[in-house]
């Protein structure tokens, strides 16, 4: 079967199949935002890796070298936040065409270093090679957590919460893609921040570390509807999202109106938002909302968990919304 028929997740499932259950120190392997490893102490180590390829994950004409690095580091660290953890160290494999200015590579690495430093993590190693075409990088982040937040932890009766607002990444992308903004520098401030320096929700993870039980969690990197599907699958439950409850960014409304698009559809399917989707018992929600507020993060209830499977997104009239695409899938025809 061809990859563009199997899809990214079909391929990963095949690999997960022959790898089987994790062994030895690995407690959670393929299938969550990061792998979870036992240590000799009480805590767990977290390891995540994310690739960024020119023309696929970013366009060079939209970003400076430093911004390419900043964005990649934030995206990679976000997976540590999605596990409820804190970042410790960052490793970068970087491929650049030999004809590139050294200063370009240096600026890119500075972008990564600055983000790592901001989150008290160190850029601790990597690999450098000549790329036959374009810029490519892979960012590995090692983190730690006492009680990991797993995609598999959602239970029937839980409620779904999302951090912040959604839709800015889509709005930024469409402004750039339509040519309305020729470079990230031309984006309105909120969109610029989301596109160039999305916030990994590490502060939220720390703020909720003392909840009576760790929530189920995933970061929204491929689109809310699709990422919700990963929680549904790993937890073997059904998720219902009420589209009317999903908090949209004001900038998402504005840009969608400007470009004649549906802002709600953007918010439901926009990847690279890096907000967290959480599932937890409703009895924990009040405390979670209050603790999030203390670190300046708004948590909004957007749905619920039931017995069953899959994700249903209900529109204003209470009937399910059908999606052509619930989010990003590598290999799928875009």
Query: Which residues bind to Mg ion, rule: CB under 5 A?
Result: 33, 79, 82, 219, 221
Q: Which does 32 bind (CB under 5 to 8 A by kind): ligand ADP, Mg ion, none?
A: ligand ADP
Can you tell me the distance from the alpha carbon of 97 to that of 118, in angstroms, rounded to the nearest whole number? 29
**Per rule CB under 6 A, is residue 226 in the interface with ligand ADP?**
no
Q: Build a one-symbol-per-residue string for 121-140: x at contacts with ligand ADP by CB under 6 A, - elsewhere.
A: --------------------
Q: Quick one: 15 or 212, whose CB is closer to ligand ADP? A: 15
Q: Quick one: 50 or 158, whose CB is closer to ligand ADP? A: 50
Q: Quick one: 50 or 187, whose CB is closer to ligand ADP? A: 50
Q: Quick one: 31 or 134, whose CB is closer to ligand ADP? A: 31
Can you tell me the distance from the alpha carbon of 265 to that of 223, in angstroms, rounded to the nearest whole number? 10
Can you tell me the distance from the alpha carbon of 285 to that of 288, in angstroms, rounded to the nearest whole number? 5
Q: Build a one-symbol-per-residue string for 47-66: x at contacts with ligand ADP by CB under 6 A, - elsewhere.
A: ---x----------------
**Per rule CB under 6 A, is residue 79 in the interface with ligand ADP?**
yes
Closest CB to Mg ion: residue number:
33
Q: Is 53 left (phi over 0), alpha (psi -120 to 50) or beta?
A: beta
Q: Quick one: 70 or 304, whose CB is closer to ligand ADP? A: 70
Burial of 1 (0-12, 13-18, 19+ CB in 10 A): exposed
**Per rule CB under 6 A, is residue 15 in the interface with ligand ADP?**
yes
Residue 119 is classified by DSSP as: T
**Per rule CB under 6 A, is residue 32 in the interface with ligand ADP?**
yes
Q: Quick one: 50 or 168, whose CB is closer to ligand ADP? A: 50
Q: Which of 12, 27, 53, 203 binds ligand ADP (CB under 6 A)?
A: 12
**Per rule CB under 6 A, is residue 7 in the interface with ligand ADP?**
no
Can you tell me the distance from the alpha carbon of 39 to that of 282, in angstroms, rounded to the nearest whole number? 32
Can you tell me the distance from the alpha carbon of 141 to that of 48, in angstroms, rounded to the nearest whole number? 5
Query: With CB under 6 A, what is the number of residues at the site for ligand ADP?
Result: 9
Smallest separation (angstroms) from Mg ion to the CB of 50: 8
In contact, 249 and 165? CB cutoff 8 Å: yes
**Per rule CB under 6 A, is residue 212 in the interface with ligand ADP?**
no
**Per rule CB under 6 A, is residue 22 in the interface with ligand ADP?**
no
Q: Return all residues near 64 (Cβ < 8 A) that are at least 6 apart.
A: 107, 184
Residue 272 is classified by DSSP as: S
Smallest separation (angstroms) from ligand ADP to the CB of 83: 10
**Per rule CB under 6 A, is residue 102 in the interface with ligand ADP?**
no
Smallest separation (angstroms) from ligand ADP to the CB of 290: 28
* Pairing, β 86-96 against β 136-145: antiparallel
Smallest separation (angstroms) from Mg ion to the CB of 221: 5
Smallest separation (angstroms) from ligand ADP to the CB of 274: 10
Smallest separation (angstroms) from Mg ion to the CB of 131: 25
In contact, 299 and 292? CB cutoff 8 Å: yes
Can you tell me the distance from the alpha carbon of 175 to that of 193, in angstroms, rounded to the nearest whole number? 14
**Per rule CB under 6 A, is residue 281 in the interface with ligand ADP?**
no
Lookup: tokens for 264: 């709600």
What is the enclosing helix (H) or strand (E) of 177?
helix 168-177
Q: Which of 26, 27, 30, 209 binds ligand ADP (CB under 6 A)?
A: 30
Contact residues toward ligand ADP (CB under 6 A) are 12, 15, 30-33, 50, 79, 221
């Amino acid at each position: 079967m061809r990859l563009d028929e199997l899809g990214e997740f079909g391929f990963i499932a095949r690999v997960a199949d022959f790898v089987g259950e994790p062994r030895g120190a690995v407690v959670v392997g393929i299938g969550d935002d990061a792998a979870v490893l036992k240590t000799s102490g009480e805590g767990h180590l977290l390891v995540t890796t994310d690739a960024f390829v020119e023309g696929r994950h970013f366009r060079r004409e939209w970003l400076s070298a430093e911004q390419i690095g900043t964005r990649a580091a934030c995206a990679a660290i976000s997976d540590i936040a999605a596990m409820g953890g804190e970042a410790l160290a960052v490793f970068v494999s970087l491929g650049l065409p030999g004809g590139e200015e050294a200063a370009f590579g240096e600026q890119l690495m500075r972008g990564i270093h600055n983000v790592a430093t901001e989150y008290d993590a160190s850029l601790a190693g990597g690999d450098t090679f000549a790329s036959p075409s374009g810029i490519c990088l892979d960012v590995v982040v090692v983190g730690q957590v006492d009680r990991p937040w797993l995609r598999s932890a959602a239970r029937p009766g839980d409620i779904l919460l999302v951090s912040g607002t959604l839709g800015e990444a889509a709005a930024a992308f469409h402004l750039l893609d339509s040519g309305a903004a020729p470079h990230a520098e031309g984006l309105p401030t909120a969109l610029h921040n989301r596109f160039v320096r999305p916030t990994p929700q590490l502060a939220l993870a720390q703020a909720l570390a003392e909840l009576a039980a760790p929530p189920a969690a995933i970061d929204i990197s491929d689109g809310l509807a699709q990422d919700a599907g990963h929680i549904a699958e790993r937890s073997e439950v059904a998720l219902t999202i009420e589209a009317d409850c999903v908090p949209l960014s004001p900038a998402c409304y504005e840009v969608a109106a400007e470009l004649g698009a549906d802002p709600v559809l953007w918010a439901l399917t926009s990847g690279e938002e890096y907000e967290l989707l959480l599932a937890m018992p409703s009895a924990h929600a009040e405390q979670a909302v209050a603790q999030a507020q203390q670190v300046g993060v708004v948590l909004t209830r957007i749905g619920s968990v039931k017995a069953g499977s899959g994700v249903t997104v209900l529109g204003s009239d209470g009937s399910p919304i059908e999606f052509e695409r619930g989010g990003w899938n590598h290999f799928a025809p875009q």
